[in-house]
Amino acid sequence: MRRSWQNTARIIILSIIMIWLFSYLVPYVWHYRSPTPMVYEADTIRYANATWPRRRIPRLIHQTYRTHDVPAIWNGTVQSVMEKNIGEFQYRRWSDIERDALVEKYEPHFYWNTYVNYPYDVQRIDSFRYVLMFHLGGIYIDMDNGCNRPFRELIATLEALDPDSPHLAAFPGRISFGVENDLIISTAGHPFHRQLISRLHYFNHHFILHFWTVLISTGPIYVSIQERFFSSSQQAVMRLLDPPVFRPIFTRKENGFSWVRKDTRIAFFLNDHSTSLLWLCKIFTFILILLVLYKKYKIKLRRS
């Protein structure tokens, strides 16, 4: 019991420290950097039905799960992705066996030296999508994301915004991390995905907690770090979707965060109540100081 409380205390303390660090570091890095090209709602209104741009992004939607069966909790979201894009896109659902085979085929060095050594399956799922986008391209979307509008409109917008660039990529932007990875749109062979794949082994470490290990080694924080060091060019454009464009205009989230554990829920709770908790810490510290001073004052009175 004592060990359990000690582990919980460590999780709480580490989560507070990490939340505090990211609450300062992420806005700082986000503000003091070259602006990343964005996709705004006004862009989608202007170019949603454009037919003149040259097609470069494959009309192919990818999703992945352990088997080819769709879990009941995501049946609605998966169906919405298929129904909203029927006739416009091919659809491919990758099982775990097919996922592993694709990574081994296209990236054997990464597969044998890093991929198979990941302690958590969600890390393999994250890294798989980067390999998938580099070699096949198209759209990758997590099963817990439903589709509100046809992706044809979003791809048309991307191709119209950069009509002369051979390589296009787009990720959802988010203030908390910078870049999300639950939706990826890309041409095959984009240099940013090669950068993501080539540096994964440097981040294959255990960052104390399951939550931070996943986010930093392969997840949104990893992608955000790499995006920070990638410069878009005329040949390879990397854009971020303005949060409202990603959700709710084009997607919605249902029954998400299936990979989270106890430490993740604690971190989410601390993040959601960080302001209140910081005030409680201040009050607790102030009361503690008063008690210490009072105790010293009583000892001094007894001695006198």
CATH code where residue 176 lies: 3.90.550
Give the pLDDT of residue 154: 98
Query: How does the average pLDDT of the chain come out, rounded?
Result: 86
Q: In the predicted model, what is the mean pLDDT of residues 84-99?
A: 97
Q: 227: pLDDT confidence band, cut at 50, 70 and 90?
A: very high
146 with 251, same domain: the answer is yes
Give the pLDDT of residue 172: 97
Is 179 or 9 the better-scoring residue by pLDDT?
A: 179
To which residue do tokens 């995501």 refer? 74
123 with 191, same domain: the answer is yes
Percent of the chain with pLDDT over 90: 66
* Residue 55 domain boundaries: 37-261
Distances (CA, A) of 108 to 74, 131, 197: 32, 11, 12
Give the pLDDT of residue 174: 84
232 with 286, same domain: the answer is no
Give the pLDDT of residue 211: 84
Residue pair 254/146 in contact (Cβ under 8 Å)? The answer is yes
Is 170 or 11 the better-scoring residue by pLDDT?
A: 170
Residues with Cβ within 8 Å of residue 142, at least 6 apart in sequence = 63, 182, 183, 256
pLDDT at position 179 over 60: yes
Q: At what angle do helices 121-135 and 210-217 cross, to 10 degrees?
A: 10
Is 89 or 288 the better-scoring residue by pLDDT?
A: 89
194 with 229, same domain: the answer is yes
Q: In the predicted model, what is the mean pLDDT of residues 163-172?
A: 97
Q: 4: pLDDT confidence band, cut at 50, 70 and 90?
A: low
Is 210 or 121 the better-scoring residue by pLDDT?
A: 121
134 with 280, same domain: the answer is no
Give the integer Cα–Cα distance in Å for 206 and 233. Answer: 34
Is 125 or 211 the better-scoring residue by pLDDT?
A: 125
To which residue do tokens 């604690």 refer? 266
